[in-house]
Amino acid sequence: MKITRIEIRKLALPMTRSFKASFGVVTHKETVITKLYTSDGLVGFGESSSLWAPVYNHETNDTCMYIQEKFIAPRIIGKNFETPQEFREAYADVIGNPTAKTGPECAFWDLVSQRDNKSLKRLVGGVKDEIPVGESIGMKPSIKQTLDEIDKRIAEGYLRIKLKIEPGWDVELVRRVRERYPDVTLTVDANSAYNLREHGKILRSLEQFEVSIIEQPFGECDLVDHAAFQSETTIPICLDESIESADDARSAAALGSCKVINIKPGRVGGLVESVKIHDLAAEQGIGVFCGGMMETGIGRAFNIALASKQNFSYPSDMSPASLYFSEDVVESSFTVKPNGHVDVPDRPGLGFTVKEDIIAKFTKKKVVVE
């Protein structure tokens, strides 16, 4: 398939409520949507969902747009590619910036899916018809408000509750949630807010509340302290920010830094690298779940396909866009069923119909390269 045109747009999406984590508060969500055109008349969509500032990883929505326009577009325009593996080779000399690379790569998967008349699920080797999901609960002004939100999600069927934590918003919160829900699968996510020397004891005290995962307690480059802590605690550590590639996953496995990996296509450059991490984790006995970057229905379509692979044994962060945004960019996106699962589409393309008028409505900046 010959790529003839790329449209890169930054969208600003009105949020129904803000989302707070240890890195800051997301009050208005921006994301980058990439559209690829081929000489055969196909179009494919992908998403690079980053944040307003480099507070989660080193990227932002603006750096994603810049890297795509200046360094990815010139390497793919006018060229022929048959497979996603071949496609990403075209910009393999561009170091890092995995979130920027995710939009174009996923848009190419969308094209391949349409060309081969084969769902994304089948293309990535997915085996499940439905995937278990949980919600990531942002930090609230009070524990009471947190419990109110958890009440709703549990009533809706969500199978796991992940609490965002930071020093001072941890033990008491977990105690109260555990008191109210003795049986719920409970995980915590610190987004790197702790360090081993100061906080090892506090984090270990979460063992008494049967927390099933501590996600990314320490710095993103700190595989060594994660390994030291994993050897001291019975709670499985899950790495998120630390894993930007299959090589990072290999290092973490060799050091014993985690027992679980949160695989986000948007953090590792797309589905090719995500599948590599999935396979490596399966070999190494590391569990995985699919995380998210509060994507729209476009980005979520790729996450769902990925999460239908065999080794995704933990519930994924797959709440529908409606939990964050007043309008989504796809028509009738997925819903969480009363059994806490989301159906995996099995038709060619995204599996959801893109609403181009909504994309246009929320476009803040647009760049075209052809």
Residue 297 found at the interface with ligand OSB (CB under 6 A): no
Q: Which of 20, 121, 164, 309 is catalytic?
A: 164
Q: Which of 264, 337, 355, 361 is catalytic?
A: 264
For the CB of residue 333, give the shortest distance to ligand OSB in the complex, in Å: 13
The tokens of 308 are what? 């239908």
Q: In this structure, what is the dihedral angle of CA atoms 305, 310, 315, 317, given to the nearest 10 degrees?
A: -30
For the CB of residue 299, give the shortest distance to ligand OSB in the complex, in Å: 9
Cα distance between residue 251 and residue 261, in whole Å: 12
Determine the residue type at 255: L
The candidate with the shortest Cα–Cα distance to 84, out of 93, 92, 94, is: 92
Question: Binds 292, which of ligand OSB, Mg ion, none (CB < 5 to 8 A, cut-off by type)?
Answer: ligand OSB
Contact letters for ligand OSB, residues 207-246 (x by CB under 6 A):
---------------------------------x------
Cα distance between residue 358 and residue 232, in whole Å: 50
For the CB of residue 189, give the shortest distance to Mg ion in the complex, in Å: 4
For the CB of residue 271, give the shortest distance to ligand OSB in the complex, in Å: 16
Cα distance between residue 194 and residue 168, in whole Å: 11
Residue 189 found at the interface with ligand OSB (CB under 6 A): yes
The tokens of 335 are what? 């819903």
Interacting residues with Mg ion (CB under 5 A) = 189, 215, 240
| Active-site residue, 164 included | yes
For the CB of residue 131, give the shortest distance to Mg ion in the complex, in Å: 18
Interface positions, 59-118, toward ligand OSB (CB under 6 A): none
The candidate with the shortest Cα–Cα distance to 199, out of 186, 188, 184, 210, is: 188
For residue 10, what is the enclosing H or E element?
strand 3-13
CB proximity list for 208: less than 8 A, separation 6 or greater: none
| Alpha carbon separation from 68 to 6, 76, 211, 217, 337 (Å, rounded) | 9, 10, 40, 31, 36
Cα distance between residue 64 and residue 102, in whole Å: 9
Of the two residues 104 and 292, which places its CB atom closer to ligand OSB in the complex? 292
Nearest residue to the partner ligand OSB, using Cβ: 292
Residue 13 found at the interface with ligand OSB (CB under 6 A): no
- The DSSP code for 124 is T
Question: Binds 112, which of ligand OSB, Mg ion, none (CB < 5 to 8 A, cut-off by type)?
Answer: none
- Helices 271-284 and 98-116: crossing angle in degrees, nearest 10, is 100
Question: Binds 105, which of Mg ion, ligand OSB, none (CB < 5 to 8 A, cut-off by type)?
Answer: none
Of the two residues 30 and 189, which places its CB atom closer to Mg ion in the complex? 189
The tokens of 142 are what? 């009070």
Task: Work out the angle at residue 16's Cα, subtended by the Cα atoms of residues 28 and 191, and round it to the nearest 5 degrees.
Answer: 55
Question: Binds 294, which of ligand OSB, Mg ion, none (CB < 5 to 8 A, cut-off by type)?
Answer: ligand OSB
Chain centroid, CA 279 distance in Å: 18
Contact letters for ligand OSB, residues 311-330 (x by CB under 6 A):
------x-x-----------
For the CB of residue 304, give the shortest distance to ligand OSB in the complex, in Å: 12
Of the two residues 29 and 35, which places its CB atom closer to ligand OSB in the complex? 29
Residue pair 238/262 in contact (Cβ under 8 Å)? The answer is yes
Cα distance between residue 24 and residue 310, in whole Å: 34
Of the candidate spans 91-99, 146-154, 197-205, 287-295, the one that interacts with ligand OSB by CB under 6 A turns out to be 287-295
Of the two residues 296 and 311, which places its CB atom closer to ligand OSB in the complex? 296
Question: Binds 98, which of Mg ion, ligand OSB, none (CB < 5 to 8 A, cut-off by type)?
Answer: none
The sign of the torsion formed by the CA atoms of 144, 150, 154, 159 equals: negative
Residue 33 found at the interface with ligand OSB (CB under 6 A): no
Q: Go through the chain and tell me how many residues it has.
A: 370
Question: Binds 351, which of ligand OSB, Mg ion, none (CB < 5 to 8 A, cut-off by type)?
Answer: none
Of the candidate spans 2-10, 202-210, 291-299, 354-362, the one that interacts with ligand OSB by CB under 6 A turns out to be 291-299
Query: What residues are annotated to the active site?
Result: 164, 264
The footprint of ligand OSB (CB under 6 A) covers 56, 136, 189, 191, 240, 291-294, 317, 319
